[in-house]
């Protein structure tokens, strides 16, 4: 957390947060519902992704089809971590979380610190957009491969891989729209 080190000031044995605060118009229940929904979409994308890795198609042996598909593991994984981070924030707001060494002023109870906002709100947006990009590129690349070499391929495997890529694209698009709508509801203040 070196990136956020300047946001804290030591006050005796405890720390005080002095960085920017992020507030939302959404209720805690709505934020928690979004966190569960987003995490569910990312887990579904991970399951579909793993199923796509199990298909032994010709596209999995072509560099320009394989690289964007394999690289998709990173935004999917980070997206899951972002959703879990937001769930933990919601849990702390309900009073079920761990006690912290950081003193939160009364006027900022229920607001997110910069680190919480980066992990729970901005990370899902960036990861969803990256998933859409990689899945779209994989879909297009596999279609090009199918059109270039239709006789050298097992068409059912290629079409199954295309369906997996399209489902991942759909899940990523739904998550991107949902996370962008949630991000718009936040305001920054000091």
Q: Would 76 be classed as within a structural domain?
A: yes
Q: Would 34 be classed as within a structural domain?
A: yes
Q: What is the pLDDT of residue 127?
A: 96
List of E strands, the chain: 8-11, 14-17, 21-24, 102-103, 112-113, 186-189
Q: What residues make up the domain containing 49?
A: 26-184
Q: Would 17 be classed as within a structural domain?
A: no
pLDDT tens by residue, 3-57? 776 777 777 777 877 778 888 888 888 999 999 999 999 999 999 999 999 988 8
| Percent share of the chain, pLDDT over 90 | 49
Q: Would 16 be classed as within a structural domain?
A: no
| Percent share of the chain, pLDDT over 70 | 93
Residue listed under structure tokens 């991107």 = 176
Q: What is the pLDDT of residue 180?
A: 93
pLDDT tens by residue, 52-97? 999 888 888 888 888 999 999 999 999 999 999 999 988 887 776 5
Q: Is 95 left (phi over 0), alpha (psi -120 to 50) or beta?
A: left
Q: Would 177 be classed as within a structural domain?
A: yes
Q: What is the pLDDT of residue 62?
A: 85
Beta bridge mates, 113: 21
Count of domains in the chain?
Answer: 1
Q: What is the pLDDT of residue 165?
A: 94
Q: Is residue 177 predicted with pLDDT exceeding 90?
A: yes
């Amino acid at each position: 957390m070196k990136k956020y080190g300047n946001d804290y000031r030591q006050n005796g044995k405890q720390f005080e947060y002095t960085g920017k605060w992020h507030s939302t118009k959404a209720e805690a229940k709505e934020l928690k519902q979004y966190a569960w929904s987003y995490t569910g979409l990312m887990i579904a994308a991970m399951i579909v992704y793993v199923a796509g890795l199990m298909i032994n198609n010709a596209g999995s042996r072509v560099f320009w089809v394989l690289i964007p598909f394999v690289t998709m593991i990173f935004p999917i994984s980070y997206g899951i971590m972002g959703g879990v981070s937001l769930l933990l924030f919601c849990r702390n707001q309900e009073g079920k979380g761990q006690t912290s060494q950081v003193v939160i002023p009364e006027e900022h109870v229920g607001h997110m610190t910069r680190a919480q906002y980066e992990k729970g709100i901005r990370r899902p947006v960036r990861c969803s957009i990256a998933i859409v990009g990689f899945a779209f590129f994989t879909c297009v690349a596999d279609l090009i491969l199918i059109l270039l070499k239709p006789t050298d391929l097992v068409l059912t495997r290629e079409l199954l891989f295309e369906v997996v890529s399209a489902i991942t694209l759909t899940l990523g698009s739904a998550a991107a729209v949902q996370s962008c709508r949630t991000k718009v509801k936040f305001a920054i203040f000091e």
